[in-house]
Structure 1
Amino acid sequence: MPNQQAAPAGVPAIEASGLTVRFPVRGGVFGKVKDYFTAVDGVSFTLEQGKTLSVVGESGCGKSTLVKSLVGLVPLASGSVKIFGRGVQCGKIAPEGGEKPARVCDVVQMVFQDPFSSLNPRQTVEEILTAPLVARKVTFEKARQRAVELLERVSIPHGAMEKFPHEFSGGQRQRLCIARSLMVEPKVLLCDEVTSALDVSVQAQILHLLDDLRRDLGLSILFISHDMQVVRAISDDVLVMYFGKVVERGPADSVLTDPQHEYTKKLLSCVPTIRK
């Protein structure tokens, strides 16, 4: 398989320093750039190996833009990213010794919010899952074997290989997206609001699945969410964002039980409770 090397012990999975993302604001007849909107403003964080770091905040705070900047889906205006201690530039991880530069997508994979739009509706599950390995020159037979193993791992019957995405429920489609992300044996998963489009009972199943995969496969997970209940269930550490900046960070137990920033307190006060 593409990624067999063990991660170096004691080195953070991701170290981000001063990440800033700006989008041009255009206007006038010719659409010239008149100004820039700063979506992420000098964000720094560390994701430890084998841990889950949750980035929380209301819609529009920049958390999804932050996670997309880590894999090059949006360009950084400034700042730097290290993956397992190695710098990242132009979608590649700096080599060590005589090695060839590794691609970020071989080590870090992303699971998106909407599982239906993340899957090609014209491809079968077999085509969707085997494509990442076939593109990396792995034989179709080995790719298919890997796909069958991962379908079982995410509790989807391997008989589903010939089906299309529309034949599955929302929760099953998200499981397929998770299985696809694991095909190349990544060390880090970036999960962008992966439970927000699902029913509460299905959310719990996906959270349990992610936690089991983290523990069993030694994954490190960066989890994006606005749901504090979900964050409480899965997080080791929490980073709170407000208007593109980090306003609070720390261990999940500390941040969620004794928040120091007023914005964090407001987020927690919005968690629904049952009153008699």
Structure 2
Amino acid sequence: MAQESVPAMEVSGLTVKFPIRGGVLGKVQNYFTAVENVSFVLEPGKILSIVGESGCGKSTLVKSLVGLVPMDSGEFKLFGEPVVKGRIAGKNSGGERRVSDLVQMIFQDPFSSLNPRQTIAEILTAPLLARGVKVADAEARARELLERVSLPVEALQKFPHEFSGGQRQRLCIARSLMVKPKILLCDEVTSALDVSVQAQILHLLDDLRNEFGLSIVFISHDMQVVRALSDDVLVMYFGHIVERGAADVVLTNPQHEYTQKLLASVPTIKRNGKKD
């Protein structure tokens, strides 16, 4: 299904609205449009970054793709096949494959995205057990991925609170890879981590992208990270895409006024009144 000539993901006219309720009975009085008429293409094996200030709709956009936020309108395809009600409805999938079989999401906060009452073994094996995979096979896959994200096998018997922030994000990455997805949606995955740990996680994601042939949508407001990691960039402003293109073009020669202001806001070090 995942042919090189077919985009990994195509999104067309995606709009997300939230109801505004009021009055004694809490009836819907209006709607707030968080994402409006957004379209983009994610190429196989590439990293597409979506940037913009907090509240511009980046996270809402990617959450709508995995069903965590309902779409008001719009369409999207995975490897050329349409997605209908959370199912891949193309002829190659037989209508049986779920979006979560191909697309997995890694969240911003590794502290809240792991169940504190479950062991790491329970957390990692759950996606495969829910798909009918044998316990032994699921545990073997978990051990394999723990090693791949540079964590010891002994971690399986521990609980999330026994790990640092960077280690928890590694666990989240391992969990996202359990079902062998083709696309990762990364929502500010380094913003809650120390700077030194951020670099480690970014290198890990890039290595995994190359090793497993992953396509990645990377949500961030950190322009330095985006510059280092991305192939292509979308710039969002108040729920709209205002600029798009190759990362080296958009980030060195921005055309839209908002993109220019966004890049101008990146902190730089000055010495003797000069920028380094």
- Same fold by TM (over 0.5)? yes
Q: 1:256 aligns with which of 251, 258, 264?
A: 251
**Percent of aligned pairs sharing the same letter:** 74
Q: 1:24 aligns with which of 11, 19, 31?
A: 19
Partner of 1:82: 77
Q: How far apart are residue 99 of structure 1 and its match?
A: 2.6
Contact preservation (8 Å) 2:88, 2:95: no
Contact preservation (8 Å) 2:108, 2:192: yes
Query: One-letter code of the match for 2:196?
Result: S
Partner of 1:203: 198
Indicate whether 1:125 and 2:120 are aligned.
yes
The 4+ residue runs of structure 1 with deviation greater than 2 A are 97-101
Partner of 2:61: 66
Partner of 2:209: 214
Question: What does residue range 104-143 of structure 1 map to in structure 2 within 5 Å?
Answer: 104-143=99-138
RMSD of Structure 2 on Structure 1 (CA): 1.0
Partner of 1:3: none
Sort the Cα spacing of 1:148 and 1:97 in 2 relative to 1 into closer, same or farther, 3 A. closer
Q: Deviations over 1:142-175 (max 9, x none)?
A: 1111101100100111111111100000000000
Partner of 2:274: none
Contact preservation (8 Å) 1:52, 1:236: yes
Query: How many residue pairs align between the two structures?
Result: 271
Indicate whether 1:188 and 2:157 are aligned.
no
Unpaired runs of at least 5, structure 1: 1-5
Contact preservation (8 Å) 1:95, 1:102: no
Q: How far apart are residue 225 of structure 1 and its match?
A: 0.5
Query: One-letter code of the match for 1:140?
Result: V
CA distance in 2, matches of 1:169, 1:229: 24
Contact preservation (8 Å) 1:112, 1:194: yes
Q: 1:223 aligns with which of 204, 218, 224?
A: 218
Q: 2:30 aligns with which of 3, 19, 35?
A: 35
CA distance in 1, matches of 2:168, 2:265: 29
TM-score, length of structure 1 as denominator length: 0.96
Q: 1:265 aligns with which of 255, 260, 271?
A: 260
Q: How far apart are residue 233 of structure 1 and its match?
A: 1.3
